[in-house]
Amino acid sequence: MGFDAAFEKKKKLNSVGTRPLRPDGVEKVTGKARYGADFNMPGQLVGRILRSPHAHAKIKKIDTTKAEKLKGVKAVITAKDLPDLTDGNSDLYDVLDNCMAREKALYDGHAVAAVAAIDAATARKALKLIKVDYKILPHVTDVDEAADAKAPLVREGVFTTGVDPKPAKPSNITNRSQYGHGDVEGGMAEADFIVGRTFKTEQTHQGYIEPHACVASVNSDGNAELWVCTQGHFVYRQNCADLLGMDASKLRVTSSEIGGGFGGKTHVWSEPVALALSRKAGRPVKLVMSREEVFRASGPTSATSIDVRIGAKKDGTVTAAEATLRYTCGPYPGMWAELGAMTAFAPYDFANVKTVGYEVLVNRPKVAAYRAPSAPMAAFAVESAVDELAGKIGMDPVKFRIKNAAKEGSRASYGPVYGPIGIGPTLEAAKKHPHMKAPLGKNQGRGMACGFWFNFGGQTCSNINIGEDGTVNLAVGTVDVGGSRASLSLVAAEELGVPYEQIKAVIGDTGTLGHNDMTDGSRGTFSSSLATISAARNAISIMKERAAKMWDIPVEHVEWENGHAVAKGKKYGNLPKLSVKDIAAKAGRTGGPIAGHSELVADGAGVSFATHICDIEVDPQTGATKVLRYTVIQDAGKAVHPTYVEGQYQGGAAQGIGWALNEEYIYGKDGRLQNPGFLDYRIPVCSDLPMIDTQILEIPNPNHPYGVRGVGETSIVPPLAAIANAVSNAVDARMTHIPMSPPRILKALETEAAE
Amino acid sequence: MSGIAVSTTINGDEVEYLCQADETLLDVLRDRLEMTGTKEGCGTGDCGACSVMVDGRLVCSCLVLGAEVQGSTIETIEGMADGADLHPLQQKFIEHAALQCGVCTPGFLIAAKDLLERNPNPTEEEIRFGLAGNLCRCTGYDKIVRAVQDAAQEMKG
C-alpha cells in the first residue's frame, strides 16, 4: 500500500492528526482496567519459582519430596516436568532452558523449580523445602573478561560462527557479524584528523512498572487458557504450545492491559512454568513475579564495550569510520551486537565504513529486547566520537553532522539504499531550534546527538465489524502498549468517514483473529493501521454492494463519500445518500452481517531518525548531574495521534536519561546481582527531569497511505550520547563509560586535573 | 489457621475482613477485597503504585499490614470518582495523555490528590518533588506534571 499524496495535497485527512481522548482512559484512571495480576479464576492456586542463588552451577540433584508433602501444596515441578520437545530447534531449546534450568544454573536468578499451592504463604514455605544440590562453577559477568580467551566457558562447545576458518578452541563468543562498504584503511590514510576511543555501557533493565504476571489453566482434555501481560499474545501462544506439546488452537491466550513492556514482554519466562504447574495440579495457577525476580531473571539489555575510529578531512568530510562492538547476550546466543553493528553509522553517508559485532556469553540473565535494542549503545560510542572529531576539526557539531548526513539515495552502512529519510531535516531543525542558542551558565554543558532505528512491519490481522446500529468494532491483534487503540480508531474513522466516537477498538484474543506478530519494532500503529485501512476498505466495498441492493442499482454507480454510500450518475444521482447506520439497519435483508477483514505482512516500515539536544549541569564537588533542558526532534512520517507521538518521544528520552546517568546492574564478585530493586536500581523520578520539549517532523513514508512511520523506539537512541556530549562539554573531559554516575564523573574530573 | 479480624472504612463503606499477621494492606485490598485498582510494582515501597490514603496520610499500602488498619479510614482509587463524575485530576490525566500504559496512574492520582489538598497552588518544582515517590516509566513525567498543573487551576475554580 503506497503513500497517497492526495491526502497531503488536498488536506483530506479529517481524523488522522487530531488529538481525541483515548478510549481506555476512564477505565485506567478509575482502577477498573485489568492488568496481568488483576485477574483470577475459580479454584486458582498461587505459583512461585525457586531460583538459583549462584551465577554458574551444575545442578547435581533436586529433592522435592518434602515440599510435595507439605499440606496445601498441589504441584511441584522441575525441568523434568518440561521435557525437551524442541526437536533440534536450538533457539527454542534456549527459551526452554531459560524458563527452567536443565543441567546448569547459568545466572543468579535462573529458575530451577516451581510450586503451586493454595496460598502464597504455603508456596513460600514449599520453596524453602526444596533441596538443590549445586556444584558451583567459575563464572564471568563482565563483557571484556568473558570475551577473553582465558575466561571460564559459560556454555560448552561454543565455536564462534561467522569466522573462517572455524576457530580451533571454544569460547564465549557465539558469532561475529560484519557490515559496511568501501576501503576503511584507504579512507583513514586520507584523513587529516582521526579520533579513536573505547566506550563501555552497563546493563540496564526496561523497568516496566508492572511485573510479569499470568494466570494459566490447563484442562485434562487438552484445552487451556492463559491470561497474561505480554506484547504479543499470538507469539506467546505458539511458544507455550511448542514447549508444552499443545495444539496452539486449544490454547486461548488473552492479553491483559499491559503495564509497560519496552521489549521486555516479548519473551516467555514464567508462562510455560505456570502452564506446566496447572497441568500437573489440574487447577488454574496464578504466577506473578516479584520486582526482585523481574530484575534477576527478566529483561535486561546488553552490557557493551565498543571501539570506534573515525577519520575526517579538514573540510569536515568523513573519509572512513569503523567500529568493533562486543555485546553481552546473557548465557544464550543472540544477535544483539549485530543490531549494534547495523545501526552504528546508519545516520551517515560515509564512503568507507566497517562494523564488526561480537556476541558474548556471560553469566547474567538472557538479554531481551529493550526499545530500539542495541542501538543506543552503538550511538553513544559513535556520536561521542563524532562530536570529538568535530571539535578537533573546529567545526560546529551540528554542521559537521549535516555535512555527512545520509539522504535519499545514500547507501546505508548496513546495506540498503535509503528512500526519503528524516536525518537531514531533524539536524536542520536542531540548528534552527532556540534551544541551541540559549545561554549556558557555569558548570553547564550542551550536547546533541542523532539516532536511528529500522522500524519493523510483520504479520498483522485486523477485523472491522459493523453492528446492527451502525457502530463499529475494530478488533486488532497487536497489543496496545501506549495508546494505539486511539490511533487505530482514528485510522478506522478516517477510512470509513465516520466520527472517532463511533469506533470501539478492542484487542482480540488468539481465538478471534489470525496470527499477529508482537507489538515490537515500533510496528503497532504502522502495521495495524495498514491492516485497519485494508479492513475498512473491504467493509466499504461490502457496504457499497449493500447500498446498491437497497437502491436496486448497479454497484458501479455507488461511491463512498464522508461515511455515506452515494449514488452517482444522471440516472441515480437523486437517490438520498445512505449512512453506515442506514445500511447496517437493513443488513439482515441484504446479505447478512457486515465486516471487513484484513490479513497482511506489513512491509515497508519507513526508517526513523531523531536528533536530541540537552543541557546538563555538573556539580564539580560531588559529580552529581542535573538535566536542565531537553529537546527531542524526530520524524514521525505522519503523526496519527500527535499527543501520543509526543508521549513516545518523551518516554524514550526519559529512559535514555536514566540509562545515561544512573541505571546499571551491579554484580558482586560472587556473580550475584546486588541491586535487584527500585531503591538501588534508580530509574528517573519526577524531580530528576525537566519538561521534555518535542518537535514532530513529518517526512512521509512512501509505503503507507498516510505516510506513517513507527515512532516508539528511536527516542531512546540519542540520549546516551547527547548527555555524554553535554557532560563532556561541561567538565571538559571526554566521558566514555555509561552510566555517568557521580563517582565516574568525579574520576573523569580528577584525571583531567592530573593531566 | 484463624485470621485477625479487622474493621475499617474504605471509600466510605464499612468493611470487615480477616487477614493473617504477615499480610500487607495491599494484599488485603487486592486479594481479599478484590480491589485491584491499587497496583503492586515493587512490594518494597519504592514505586508508589500501591499508594492509598490511611486516615488522611499518603502511604504505600505494601508497607502497611492489613492488621494495622483496625478502625482506620482508607481511600483508594476506586473511591476517587464521585459515581460517574470523574475527579478533576482523573479528567485532566486523560485530557493531557498523562498515562500511556496506565499501571502507575492510580498511585499517581492518589498522590496528586493528596498534594493538591495540602498545597492547592503548587509550583512545577513542588509538583515534581511531591510526586517523586511515584515511578512512571512511560511518560517522562512531562504530561503528568502538566495534567496536575491544569487540575490545580481547575480545582481553584
CB contact under 8 A, A692 and B142: yes
Comparing CB atoms, the residue among A32, A260, A683 nearest residue B103 is A260
H or E element, residue A655:
helix A642-661
CB contact under 8 A, B80 and A30: yes
CB A699 within 8 A of CB A635: yes
Digit-coded pLDDT (tens) for A21-50: 999 999 999 999 999 999 999 999 999 999
Digit-coded pLDDT (tens) for B72-96: 999 999 999 999 999 999 999 999 9
* CA-based nearest distance B74→chain A, Å: 16
CB contact under 8 A, B102 and A483: no
Rg, chain A, Cα only: 27
Residues of A (268-327) whose Cβ lies below 8 Å from B:
288, 290-291
Comparing CB atoms, the residue among B20, B46, B128 nearest residue A678 is B46
The dihedral sign for the CA sequence A33, A38, A44, A48: positive
* CA-based nearest distance B129→chain A, Å: 5
Q: What is the mean pLDDT of residues A384-409?
A: 98
**Chain B residues with CB inside 8 Å of A689's CB?**
128, 140-142
Q: Return the SS3 of A574.
A: coil
Q: What is the mean pLDDT of residues A375-403?
A: 98
Residues of A (508-527) whose Cβ lies below 8 Å from B:
none
CB A347 within 8 A of CB A313: no
pLDDT bucket at A753, cuts 50 / 70 / 90: confident
CB contact under 8 A, A685 and B78: no
**Angle, CA A332 vertex, CA A326 and CA A338 arms, to 5°:** 35
Q: Which residue in the block uniquely carries the three cell numbers 498511585? A: B107
CB contact under 8 A, A30 and B37: yes
What are the domain boundaries of chain B? Answer: 4-79, 88-156
Domain spanning B88-156: CATH 1.10.150.120: yes
**Chain B residues with CB inside 8 Å of A484's CB?**
none
CB contact under 8 A, A30 and B78: yes
Q: Give the three cell numbers for residue A509.
A: 484474543
Which of B141, B143, B148 is best to mutate for the A interface (most A CBs within 10 A)? B141
Q: What is the mean pLDDT of residues A362-377?
A: 98
Q: Is the pLDDT of residue A16 over 60?
A: yes
Q: What is the mean pLDDT of residues A288-309?
A: 97
Q: Which of A1-10, A272-281, A724-733 has the lowest mean pLDDT?
A: A1-10
**Chain A residues with CB inside 8 Å of B42's CB?**
291, 677-678
pLDDT of A507 reads: 97
H or E element, residue A752:
helix A742-754
Q: What is the mean pLDDT of residues A492-500?
A: 97
Q: Is the pLDDT of residue A10 over 60?
A: no
pLDDT of A192 reads: 98
Q: What is the mean pLDDT of residues A521-537?
A: 95
Which string of DSSP letters, residue by residue, matches chain B?
Answer: ---EEEEEEETTEEEEEEE-TT-BHHHIIIIIS--TTS--S-SSSSS-TTEEEETTEEEEGGGSBGGGGTT-EEE-GGGTSBTTBPPHHHHHHHHTT--SS-SSHHHHHHHHHHHHHH-SS--HHHHHHHTTTS--SSSTTHHHHHHHHHHHHHHH-
Q: Which CATH architecture has domain A5-33+457-601?
A: 2-Layer Sandwich (3.30)
CB contact under 8 A, A121 and B97: no
**A71 and chain B: CB distance < 8 Å anywhere?**
no
**Chain A residues with CB inside 8 Å of B10's CB?**
none
CB contact under 8 A, B41 and A291: yes
Digit-coded pLDDT (tens) for A54-69: 999 999 999 999 999 9
Note whether A5-33+457-601 and A36-137+211-258+265-297 share their fold.
no
Digit-coded pLDDT (tens) for A597-637: 999 999 999 999 999 999 999 999 999 999 999 999 999 99
**Chain A residues with CB inside 8 Å of B106's CB?**
29, 31
Residues of A (683-702) whose Cβ lies below 8 Å from B:
683-687, 689, 691-692
CB contact under 8 A, A686 and B127: yes
pLDDT of A574 reads: 87
**Chain B residues with CB inside 8 Å of A35's CB?**
36, 39, 103
The type of residue at A731 is V
Q: Is the pLDDT of residue A129 over 70?
A: yes
Q: What is the mean pLDDT of residues B55-77?
A: 98
Q: What is the mean pLDDT of residues A643-656?
A: 98
* Beta-sheet pairing, A564-567 with A578-579: antiparallel
Digit-coded pLDDT (tens) for B2-54: 899 999 999 999 999 999 999 999 999 999 999 999 999 999 999 999 999 99
pLDDT of A299 reads: 87
Q: Which CATH architecture has domain A304-455+606-754?
A: 2-Layer Sandwich (3.30)
CB contact under 8 A, A210 and B77: no
Between 3.40.50.720, 3.10.180.10, 3.90.1170.50, 3.40.190.10, what CATH number should domain A36-137+211-258+265-297 receive?
Answer: 3.90.1170.50
**Chain A residues with CB inside 8 Å of B140's CB?**
650-651, 653-654, 684, 689, 692
Q: Going edge to edge, which strands form the sheet with A57-63?
A: A104-105, A57-63, A131-136
Q: What is the mean pLDDT of residues A93-108?
A: 98
pLDDT of A713 reads: 97
**Chain A residues with CB inside 8 Å of B141's CB?**
654, 684, 686, 689
Give Cβ neighbours of residue A755 (< 8 Å, ≥ 6 apart).
Answer: none
pLDDT bucket at A8, cuts 50 / 70 / 90: low
CB contact under 8 A, A685 and B105: no
CB A79 within 8 A of CB A106: no
Q: Is the pLDDT of residue A361 over 60?
A: yes
Report d(CA A653, CA A643) in Å as an integer.
15
ipTM value, please give it.
Answer: 0.98
What are the domain boundaries of chain A? Answer: 5-33+457-601, 36-137+211-258+265-297, 304-455+606-754
pLDDT bucket at A6, cuts 50 / 70 / 90: low
Domain spanning B4-79: CATH 3.10.20.30: yes
* CA-based nearest distance A259→chain B, Å: 5
CB A404 within 8 A of CB A318: yes
**Chain A residues with CB inside 8 Å of B3's CB?**
none
Report d(CA A491, CA A480) in Å as an integer.
15
**Chain B residues with CB inside 8 Å of A651's CB?**
100, 137-140
Q: Which residue in the block uniquely carries the three cell numbers 490514603? A: B53
**Chain A residues with CB inside 8 Å of B22's CB?**
121
Percentage of chain A modeled with pLDDT above 70: 99
Q: What is the mean pLDDT of residues A330-356?
A: 98
Q: What is the mean pLDDT of residues A162-191?
A: 97
pLDDT of A9 reads: 58
**Angle, CA A426 vertex, CA A425 and CA A427 arms, to 5°:** 90
pLDDT bucket at A505, cuts 50 / 70 / 90: very high
Comparing CB atoms, the residue among A34, A209, A288 nearest residue B135 is A209
Report d(CA A708, CA A408) in Å as an integer.
17
Size of interface A-B (CB pairs under 8 A): 180
Q: Is the pLDDT of residue A644 over 60?
A: yes
pLDDT bucket at A388, cuts 50 / 70 / 90: very high
CB contact under 8 A, A678 and B36: no
Q: What is the mean pLDDT of residues A726-743?
A: 96
CB contact under 8 A, A29 and B46: no
Digit-coded pLDDT (tens) for A459-486: 999 999 999 999 999 999 999 998 999 9
Digit-coded pLDDT (tens) for B125-153: 999 999 999 999 999 999 999 999 999 99
Q: Give the three cell numbers for residue B6.
A: 479487622
Q: Is the pLDDT of residue A11 over 70?
A: no
